Structure 1
Amino acid sequence: MSDLARVELPNGIALDVWDSGPRDAPALIFLHGFPENHRTWRYQVEHLNTRFRCIAPDQRGYGDSSRPEGAEHYEAQALVGDVFGLAQALGVERFTVIGHDWGGALAWGVAAFGQASGVVERAVIANAPHPAVFQRLLFEDMSQREASQYMRAFRDPANDALVREHGLAPLLMKAVDWTGKVENDPAEQKLLIEQWADPDRAFAMLNWYRASGIAVPPMQEPVGLPPSYAEPAFPKIAIPTLVVWGMGDEALLPANVDRLGDWVEDLTVERVEGAGHFIPWEAPDKVNAALDGFLKA
């Protein structure tokens, strides 16, 4: 398993961080998603850390990193701030951001707001929807809306008693159909199950969903944009951006890739057939090959 160092951020949050590779090499900051931890990126870090400084935190609410109480502490602005604070605390002046799932959703924001200063040089997104594209799909595409109903369960306080008594695992089983999913490495899964068992940590992880401004309509709501809808004030991304997408993802459908050109100027898309949502460890060789080509360019 990876060795973690405790890093105190300027905002008072402390993150456990896997920081490997030459300190003077170009920096890559890896952001994991729900319901995992920094080990999401184990194959990529081990592949790249002879050539790059690879920085993979357990994000706010995960592992033993800080987990303040209350969903208001998990709003996007605070989470994006953690990434820039981490770079500052480690003396990293410029970096490439790499994110999967919620870490990828965060990476879209880190890229959008860090590109102008040159702090963020490139972005890599793995199976994580652009917030503007995703929100439109939830209104207009009933298949994506149906696939995202688990988010409503994660936000529903009616499930809090279950989480408080048993941790995250029963809610995961209740809200998501795991039939036919690729199984994680047993040692990695054992660590995740141990982490999910802590109710305080489970609620912190769920707060990423509960603090999000993304609206997930119920299935009975009519299809189409509501009259009040307005495109978000989200900057277009001009830095080189690689999107790697497991086409078998049943939660985040391939339609999420189709409109990315509206929001990203310098876009490369690698569609990986036969891989599902957890592509960093489901198809590590293909992800690593895509990273090699992109980072070399």
Structure 2
Amino acid sequence: MTADARHDRVRLGDLTFDVTVTGPDDGVPIVALHGFPESAASWRPITPRLVRAGFRVIAPNQRGYSPGARPEAVEDYRFDHLVADVVGLLDAYDLDSAHLVGHDWGAAVAWQVAGRHPERIRSLTAVSVPHAAAFGWALRNDADQQRRSGYMRQFRTESNSEAVLLEENSRRLRAVFGDGNDPDLVEEHVRLLSEPGALTAAMNWYRALVHEFGDLPPVRVPTTYVWSTADPAIGPACAERCSDFVDAPYRFVVLEGGSHWIPEENADALADAILARAAQS
């Protein structure tokens, strides 16, 4: 754990979010949104680099992952709510704007925040998951991406997905991370998602998906998109099309051979990309 990290509990309406804040109080803010099946701890490998550069990193356990922000209804995990959580977090920390970083589902939310509230976002670094319109196009037109995304249909339609992932001491959930991830971080993610109702809440992000998420217009904030060539979930068709949906300075960072777990396994390369984008914005 970074020495100067503190853990806040931020109340937004009826929900209370666990937030890790690292870096100087007067540092330029970076809000970092984790993916599935992770937690805010996924940002721990890159946070020291960002803090040394003078930034303050604000990393929440998002809706469903924080015990105090775990509503039961599927509709409570629609993008309208997920976006409002991020904007509410900015307000709670009295931030007019911040740099925004997101990985996996966190990237999907970050694209939405940047598209809907560009005045609040100084720059966007999206990791693994591209703009919703690029992803939606690939789901409709690219057989490779349709195959890669088969697990999403399973999560959305099979009511016992949680039980399958958690059985045998969460063996299948741990296996999702592969062999290159820090075992301590994996255990922290698994421990959180093993709490009562946590994995169902995380699955509800998939179950709440509606076609409207792909209607997001091009974002108009400076953007970097980081993608790994060996990512089993995101193929080249949607990754390469992402630039079509950014009407602002754009950089596409390709990590050759890297896996889906970029924050944990390619921390230096990702920190370089975030710092380069923030320095230009």
Question: Normalized against structure 1, the TM-score is what?
Answer: 0.85
Establish whether residue 151 from structure 1 lines up as the match of residue 152 from structure 2: yes
Q: Partner of 1:39 in structure 2?
A: 41
Cα deviation, residue 232, structure 1? 4.8
Secondary structure, aligned partner of 2:31? strand
1:264 lines up with 2:246 in the alignment: yes
> Where does structure 2 lack aligned partners over 5 or more consecutive residues?
none
Report what 1:90 is aligned to: 93
Q: In the alignment, which of 235, 247, 256 is matched to residue 253 of structure 1?
A: 235
Provide the residue aligned with 2:183 in structure 1.
186
Contact 2:225–2:253 under 8 Å retained in 1: yes
CA distance in 2, matches of 1:161, 1:18: 26
Deviation per residue, 1:95-127 (Å, 9 max, x gap): 011000000000000101111xx2111100010
CA shift, 1:255, in A, is 1.9
TM-aligned CA distance change 1:129 to 1:113, over 3 Å:
same
Cα displacement (A) at 1:131: 1.1
Matched, 1:126 2:127: yes
Query: What CA distance in whole angstroms lies between the structure 1 residues aligned with 2:70 and 2:165?
Result: 16
Whether the aligned pair in 2 keeps the contact of 1:166 and 1:199 (CA below 8 Å) is no
Q: Distance in 2 between matches of 1:164 and 1:182?
A: 17
Comparing 161-170 with 65-74, greater Cα deviation is found at 161-170
Which residues of 2 match residues 205-224 of structure 1 at below 5 A? 205-214=202-211
Report the counterpart of residue 57 of structure 1 in structure 2. 60
Check conservation: 1:244, 1:287, Cα contact below 8 A.
Answer: yes
Count of aligned residue pairs for this structure pair: 275
Q: Decide which moves more: 118-127 or 158-167.
A: 158-167
Larger Rg: 1
Residue 202 (structure 1) aligned to one of 177, 199, 210? 199
Tell me if structure 1 keeps the 8 A contact 2:149–2:233.
yes
User: 1:59 touches 1:65 (CA, 8 Å); kept in 2?
Assistant: no
Shift of 1:259: 1.3
Q: For the residues of structure 2 that align with 1:274 and 1:231, how far apart are their CA atoms?
A: 29
Percent identity reads 35
Q: Secondary structure at the match of 1:15?
A: strand
CA distance in structure 2 between the aligned counterparts of 1:36 and 1:234, rounded to whole angstroms: 25
Counterpart for residue 27 of structure 2: 25
Give, in whole Å, the separation in 1 of the partners of 2:226 and 2:179.
18
8 Å Cα contact 1:30-1:41 kept in structure 2: yes
- Structure-2 separation of matches of 1:62 and 1:151: 19
Return the letter of the residue paired with 2:133. Answer: A
Does 1:137 pair with 2:109? no
* RMSD value, Cα: 2.4
Residues 98 and 49 (structure 1 numbering): CA distance in 2 closer, same or farther, change over 3 Å? same
Normalised by the size of structure 2, how large is the TM-score? 0.90
Give the residue type in structure 2 aligned to 1:14: T
Q: Could you say what secondary structure the match of 2:9 adopts?
A: strand
Compared with structure 1, are the counterparts of its residues 161 and 53 closer, same or farther at alpha carbon in structure 2 (3 Å cutoff)? closer
Residue identity opposite 1:122 in structure 2: S
Q: Secondary structure at the match of 1:64?
A: coil
Distance 1:63 1:112 in 2: 25
* Structure 2 contact 77–205 (Cα < 8 Å) conserved: yes
Q: 2:216 aligns with which of 231, 234, 237?
A: 234
The separation in 2 between residues aligned to 1:292 and 1:234, in whole angstroms, is 26
CA distance in structure 2 between the aligned counterparts of 1:190 and 1:109, rounded to whole angstroms: 30
Q: d(CA) in 2 for partners of 1:90 and 1:29? A: 11
